[in-house]
Amino acid sequence: MTGGSSSSTRQSHANRERLFTIVSRYLQEHVAETAPFIHHQVEKMTALGSPWEFIVRVVALRMLWASVANLTPVSTWAAAFVYRDPALTLRLREELTSADSSASLDMCSPSAQFVAEETNRLTMFISITRPVLGKDIWIPTSEGERLNLRQGDLLLGQCWEVHRAFDQPEEFIFDRLEKARRAGRADIGYIPFGGGKGIVCDIPIPLRKQS
């Protein structure tokens, strides 16, 4: 929060601390009931010896922030891309019309999932921190060398660079990543907010070394 008065800034910090207290207490009592990827990250970071306060702020509070901060712009971009493509719009409508309403969205409309992935790829310009939760690994750099990452290290990845390892990277091709997966590509560099199984940094994404 920037540009506000000192009193509003203090209030913002106080509200954040209250939220931290609520989330911390909930996780201590109900961590096994949370979403699998949160449960998995809490377990892994605990095993690494991370302080509880750090775990709560990184694992839980960032997901609350991401759900709000990312949803609106990504949804707006996705709508813009879809409505520029009449064939894709019709495809989505047909999938949703014929789908079982009790099923999840990705089951009802695979194309909607592809649209979300491609929208993230094309419009996500942020950096994402990825902890190395597994064994020590080597990751190739874009200069042809290798970077050693040790268990417990934090890697700051630039989504803009890894998401442009494609032909026509600035074009919206709604099923681009699905085609890459079917082709067996292991280096598509897709990082959806750093959650799920991909939180373990062990995929061969070429990195650019900082001078």
How many angstroms separate the CA atoms of 81 and 173, rounded? 9
Residue 205: pLDDT over 60: no
Residues 101 and 186 in one domain: yes
- The pLDDT-based confidence of 69 (bands split at 50, 70, 90) is low
| Most confident region among 30-39, 45-54, 109-118, 187-196 by mean pLDDT | 109-118
The residue with greater pLDDT, 126 or 193, is 126
Report how far Cα 131 is from the mean position of its chain's Cα atoms. 13
pLDDT of the residue at 87? 94
How confident is the model at residue 34, as a pLDDT? 80
* Section 125-140 average pLDDT: 72
Round to whole Å and give the CA distance between 142 and 207. Answer: 5
**In terms of domains, do 92 and 187 share one?**
yes
- Check residues 16 and 98 and name the one with the higher pLDDT: 98
Task: Please indicate, yes or no, if residue 52 is contained in any of the structural domains.
Answer: yes
Residue 127 shares a structural domain with residue 171: yes
Same domain, 159 and 127: yes
Residue 150 falls inside a structural domain: yes
Split into its structural domains, the chain has a count of 2
Task: Say if 97 falls within a structural domain.
Answer: yes
- How much is the average pLDDT of 106-135? 79
Q: Is the pLDDT of residue 116 over 50?
A: yes
**123 and 181 both lie in a single domain:** yes
Same domain, 102 and 190: yes
- Residue 186 pLDDT level (bands cut at 50, 70, 90): low
22: in domain = yes
The model's pTM: 0.56
Are 20 and 61 within 8 A, CB to CB?
A: yes
Q: Which domain holds residue 188?
A: 86-211
Closest CA to 88 of 173, 210, 24: 173
144-161 pLDDT tens trace: 788 888 877 777 766 677
Same domain as 131, residue 197: yes
